[in-house]
Structure 1
Amino acid sequence: MKLIFCYFGGATLSCLFLVLLQLHCSLSQKSEGALTVVENTEGGRGVDEEEEVTVDNDDDDDGVFEVVQPNEQWQTLKPDQAVPAGSHVRLNLQTGEREVRLGEEQLKYWTQQHREEEKSRSSIDPDELKRAMKKIKEDQSSQDSAPSRFRPLDELKKEMADLDLLVETDVQIMRRLLDQFNSSNSTMEQRLSILQELEYLVHQVDNAQTLCAMGGLSFILQGLNSSDVRFQENSALVLGSAVASNPVVQVQAVEGGALQTLLTTLATTQPLNVKKKVLFALACLLRHFPYAQRHFLSHGGLQILSELFRADAGGILRTRIVTMLYDMISEKELISQAGLDPVQDPAHAERLRQYSQVSLQEELMEEGWCSLVPQLLQSTEHDYREKALRALLAMTPVCLDQYRSDGALLGSLLTLRLQYSELIQSEMILGEETSYFTEMVELIDSLQVKVK
């Protein structure tokens, strides 16, 4: 039997009687425990005046009781009911009945677990889960019964053959297109369509080489001499796409007379769209190909471009020409830079030798390009100005003296720097990106430093 301690802070006689009555009931049920009765010292008579009792049941209790599983709410405890250890039991002084709920530690963990279970029950609908599982089983069974989505290529070819369909390779397609192009029954519209298909195919390096081996280069050059403007445009596009970054085709094109044909087309009166496409083909033919660049200079290419530059008032052709010249100057400088390992690049010495035979910058100065390129700075397009500034910096080694004596160039540089500085400030106020205008100012500053 455990000792029972009662603490009273001014307790009334009725309160003492209820406590003794409750103690007597507990002893008559052979339930040993420790009770602590604390009276509310605030002196009210409502529910707030309830006494709180904590009961710990011993495991050696001989009586048989109905065990109540408490929760977070207070519930009435009957005389023949017992509670698990750690439960919180109180004596309601208003009703005279015992009430029980979970203890403080149990209540903390029970509340957390209860919330998780409620969340889980609210997020998962059992009926919906059953329907989803049923659908998964049905989909799985349908996939198992359906034929495979991927079948062997031979099987597909056989089925296509049964349907009178033919699977062609790129080589077979180009052969068929060439035969149709050379056919006397082909109309101009059909030939234009064939050129468009070929332009798509020759972006592949192997296809472009195969087209040249089939003799396709000759009819492309013939198309450049056609009187039909659309035929000239599409032929130039096919040629440019075929020679771009393709040394094998570049060599065959130069040896086949493509360079002379392109220069002749530029030198004659042609619509603007034709000249744009021809300049594209010429730039692709000259890029990273010093052999073609040397022939370009020897055939008066810079003179033809200078006349084209002067005649172009809109600036579209001027920008393409200046960009092409800048690319040619830059790639020669990159090849001439030291630091390349000849062991890893055995062809470096041969490239150096070939580029040494290309006197591009000297001829640029002789053909008057030192005064032509600055005219592009008068354009209102930022892109045109950028191309001009980069070309002017690349041409500085041979054009520096002319730059210093060119008052129009020096004035343009001052005006442009002021303009782009104001644009930078405006963009900064608006919180927008200023990197492009900052780069333009840096180009102008670099050129001004060299000119001083």
Structure 2
Amino acid sequence: MCLRLFTIVRLSCLILITVLLFHCCYISCQRSDGALTVVDNPGGNELDTEDGSEATVQEEDTEEDLEVVHPTDQWQTLKPGQAVPSGSHVRLNLQTGQREVRLGEEQLKYWMQQHSETEDKHPFINPDELKKAMKKIKEDLNINKDSNQEESVSSQFRPLEELKKDMAQLDLLVETDIQILRRLLNQFNSTRSTEEKLNILHELEYMVHQVDNAQNLCSMGGLIFILEGLNSSDSKLQENSAFVLGSALSSNPTVQVKAVESGALQALLTLLATTEHFPVQKKVLFAVASLLRNFPFAQQHFLSNGGLQVMSGVFQGDRNGSLRTRIVTLLYDLISEKEQISKTSLDFMDPSHEERVRQYSRVTLDKELVETNWCSLVPQLLGSSEHDYREKALQTLIVMAPMCLEQYRTDGSLLTSLISLKTLYEEMVNKEKTVEKETEYFVEIVELIDNLKIKIR
């Protein structure tokens, strides 16, 4: 019995020893699989896990000869086979699966202390010494600037004579605008080719848009050649000559005076009264308008030479309304220009303005418009199908109302046209509103009609 009990106790001890050995082997295997262990440590290096817990990764020493990483104050990723100095903080990023390292608290403290000592070693700069140094630098720069300014300018730019010599060797010719104008006029005078003359006129038209070039053209006698082109029997030469003249006259008082003195106005009116070519008529009207605008002396000569009668013939002969619109627009500009000058307050007048008022007082435009029947001609443009033509006619009729009031009131066709046009444009305004389109243009035309009807009453 005792032997049996002893045997059982012995067997139990063997089993217990075996279990303990297996347990120790299991723990040893778990420790040897990696050099990192994850332990709960709220005060250590934090890792975000799926359940929200925090973990700290501790690095164990290895006996292998590994590449040593020099950590900084920022987290950096550890590659396989790399080692870190003692005291460094190492963590396992559970999102990326990478190990990361940075300086430990002691290392970081030491690093910051060293950095502070390095900054303290920088020498202090005295503000007075800095001012003296800057003053000396400025003085040196001024001396160098004065001594080298002439050399720098001469090094950047080459003399004109030297450039001309170089270009002469390259068979190039440098021409100023005056030289080009003189060359073109000589070619125009010497050639008999119509095609070449047209090319020259085309180049001149491009150049005379500049005020100085237009004045230089006149001083060289260019107006004589242009007037010869107007008197030519070739319609192309007439058209292009009138185009050049109109471009040179635009907003150029000096050329306007010389054109009137050279007889350009009579030549333009003669060509306008005799030609039937639409392109020529259009360019001549452009030249006449450029000559008359803001030039009361030319306007007076225009009226005394029967300019309104010539315009009346062109107006009645126009079929598509384009020339009519140009003529009506010119009349509107001339009437508005004179009214604007007369409305200027006497308190703001200077001697030159007083002279302009005196010159405009000699222009009997109102009387001439009534005598040449323009009070009945302008309303004819309302019959056009173009909205722009109707708008120009309404604007001109309004400014002519003081001089043409009696004719307006007795002109039954005018009153009928105004009623029908107002109905038409009011319907167009309502129609455009339904489709949410812009109606401002048509509303303005309706307002012009109402203003004219008020003046007629």
Q: TM-score range by the shorter chain?
A: 0.5 to 0.7
The partner residue of 2:429 within 424, 433, 443 is 424
Give the AA of the match of 2:205: E
Shift of 1:52: 6.9
Task: Rate the CA distance shift 1:270–1:149 in 2: closer, same or farther, 3 A.
Answer: farther
Residues in 1 aligned to 2:293 and 2:278: alpha-carbon distance in whole angstroms: 22
SS state of the match for residue 70, structure 1?
Answer: strand
Normalised by the length of structure 1, the TM-score is 0.68
Q: Distance in 1 between matches of 2:227 and 2:340?
A: 32
Distance 1:154 1:75, change over 3 A: closer
Indicate conservation of the 8 Å contact 1:312/1:318, yes or no: yes
User: Does the alignment pair 1:405 with 2:410?
Assistant: yes
**Does the 8 A contact of 1:174 with 1:211 survive in 2?**
yes
1:272 maps onto 2:278 in alignment: yes
1:296-330 per-residue CA deviation (whole Å, 9 max, x = no partner) reads: 11111111111211111211111111011111001
| Equivalent residue number for residue 194 of structure 1 | 200
Counterpart residue identity of residue 391, structure 1? T
- Return closer, same or farther for 1:424/1:51 CA change in 2, 3 Å cut-off: closer
* 2:56 and 2:91 in contact (8 A); partners too: no
Q: Which residue of 2 aligns with 1:164?
A: 171
Matched AA of 2:282: K
Tell me if 1:285 matches 2:306: no
In the alignment, is residue 242 of structure 1 matched against residue 242 of structure 2? no
Q: 1:436 to 1:35 in 2, by over 3 A?
A: closer
What is the distance in 1 between the residues matched to 2:372 and 2:247? Answer: 30
Deviations 1:278-304 (A, max 9, x none): 111111111111001011111111111
Query: Residues 281 and 54 (structure 1 numbering): CA distance in 2 closer, same or farther, change over 3 Å?
Result: same
Relative distance call for 1:53 and 1:275 in structure 2 (3 A) is closer
Give yes or no for the alignment of 1:365 onto 2:370: yes
Compare the two structures and name the one with the higher helix fraction: 2
Q: Judge conservation of contact 2:332–2:396 (CA < 8 Å) in 1.
A: yes
The whole-number CA distance in structure 2 between the counterparts of 1:435 and 1:248 is 41
The answer as to whether partners of 1:196 and 1:234 remain within 8 angstroms in 2 is: yes
Tell whether the 8 Å contact from 1:315 to 1:379 is kept in structure 2 after alignment.
Answer: yes
Return the alpha-carbon distance in structure 2 between the equivalents of residues 274 and 369 of structure 1: 23
Equivalent in 184, 191, 194 of residue 177 of structure 1: 184
**Aligned positions of 1:18-97 closer than 5 A:** 67-70=88-91, 73=94
- AA matched with 2:371: E
Deviation at 1:257? 0.8
Q: Cα RMSD over matched residues?
A: 3.4
Where do 1:192-271 residues align within 5 Å?
192-271=198-277
Question: 1:297 is matched with which residue?
Answer: 303
More displaced stretch, 307-316 vs 347-356: 307-316
Flag structure 2 segments of 5+ consecutive residues without an equivalent. Answer: 1-39, 44-48, 58-84, 106-154
SS in 2 for 1:69: strand
In structure 2, the CA distance between the partners of 1:401 and 1:75, relative to structure 1 (3 Å rule), is closer
Correspondence for 1:390 among 383, 389, 395: 395
Residues 180 and 186, structure 1, Cα contact 8 Å, conserved in 2: no
> What is the distance in 2 between the residues matched to 1:49 and 1:270?
99
Cα 1:69/1:388, change in 2 over 3 Å: same
| Aligned residues of 1:233 and 1:278 also touching (Cα < 8 A) | yes
In structure 2, relative to structure 1, the CA distance for the partners of 1:53 and 1:199 (3 Å cut) is: closer
Partner of 1:40: none
2-structure distance, mates of 1:189, 1:374: 42
Aligned to 1:100: none
Aligned residue for 2:439? Answer: 434
Q: What is the CA distance between 1:48 and its match in structure 2?
A: 8.9
Alignment partner of 2:448 out of 443, 448, 451: 443
Change (3 A) 1:65 1:440: same
For 1:219 and 1:233, locate their aligned partners in 2 and report how far apart those are by CA, in whole Å: 14
Give the SS at the match of 1:433. coil
Question: Please, which of 348, 353, 358 is the counterpart of residue 358 of structure 2?
Answer: 353
**Contact 1:203–1:241 at 8 Å: present in 2 too?**
yes
Q: Displacement, 1:34?
A: 8.8
TM-aligned CA distance change 1:193 to 1:54, over 3 Å: closer
Deviations 1:79-114 (A, max 9, x none): xx9x979xxxxxxxxxxxxxxxxxxxxxxxxxxxxx
Offset of 1:157 from its aligned partner? 2.9
Contact (CA 8 Å) 1:240, 1:285: kept in 2 or not? Answer: yes
Native 8 Å contact 2:318 2:324 kept in 1: yes
Whether contact under 8 Å (1:342, 1:348) holds in the other structure is: no
Per mean C-alpha deviation after superposition, the further-off stretch among 431-440 and 226-235 is: 431-440
Following superposition, the deviation at residue 424 of structure 1 comes to: 1.9
* Identical-pair percentage: 61
Paired residue type of 1:160: M
CA shift digits 1:169-207 (9 cap, x unpaired): 110001111111111x44111111111111111111111
Show structure 1 runs of 5+ residues with no match: 1-32, 37-46, 56-63, 86-147
Q: Does 1:311 align with 2:317?
A: yes
Is residue 2:365 matched to residue 1:334?
A: no
Distance, in Å, in 2 between the alignment partners of 1:352 and 1:50 is 94
Larger radius of gyration between Structure 1 and Structure 2: 2
| CA shift for structure 1 position 446 | 1.0
Q: Which amino acid aligns with 2:94?
A: Q
